[in-house]
Amino acid sequence: MIDKKLIPYGGLKKEPFSGSHRGMRYFFRGDDGKKSTTFTVFVYPEPWCFEQTPDEEKQKETFPLSEEGMDQAIAWLWEKFESEKDRWLTAEQEMMHTVNRRSQL
């Protein structure tokens, strides 16, 4: 899903990081700008971006801004994916229907 080497955890103090895996989107964000000591990871279903997804569809967890915190965040992402696999795979399938409907408008 995600290689922690792709996310330098110190970089979360400046810029958020997002991606997706099989219908589950994720969004990493430092919690206090350059003074951050923690970061929060959100997961939510395809197809919309973080800002356009209703809050009630997002789940989040906060971690220490450290190598160990990044390990915990990656483990949490895998746990979320595996525990709600049907939800994410359904979102992945429905995303194509949403894209097709919008392109026909």
Domain ranges of the chain: 4-104
Please tell me whether residue 36 adopts helix, strand or coil conformation.
coil
> CB atoms < 10 A from the CB of 41, how many?
23
Residue 105: what pLDDT? 52
Q: Is pTM beyond 0.85 here?
A: yes
Phi-psi region of 95 (alpha: psi -120 to 50; beta: other; left: phi over 0): alpha
Q: Taking the chain (105 residues) in consecutive chunks of 10 residues, what is each chunk's mean pLDDT?
A: 77 91 95 92 95 96 95 96 96 74 50
